[in-house]
Amino acid sequence: MNWEQVEGNWKQFKGKVRETLGKFTDDELDVFHGKREQFVGRIQEKYSIGRERAEEEVDEFLRKLH
């Protein structure tokens, strides 16, 4: 699965995101509309981690979708 598929079907994947990264509300996830860069930036803020680690979290999420 790639991010373009997630972005295109964001409403369907929001539940999976909340299961994996539980600190996000539905309203917060609606703001991203599946935009990866915005999502990664918000993960950095929410979890107080660096950019590289946030990217790894997103990549891990994508692997789990398979």
Model pLDDT, residue 25: 87
**Tokens matching residue 1:** 């699965």
Residue 54 has pLDDT above 90, yes or no: yes
- pLDDT of 66 above 80: no
Give CA torsion, residues 48, 52, 8, 33, to 10 deg.
30
Count of structural domains within the chain = 1
Q: Lowest mean pLDDT of 14-18, 37-41, 43-47, name the range.
A: 14-18
Q: Which domain holds residue 45?
A: 3-65
Q: Is the pLDDT of residue 50 over 90?
A: yes
Mean pLDDT computed over 5-15:
87
Residue 3 neighbours by CB distance under 10 Å:
15
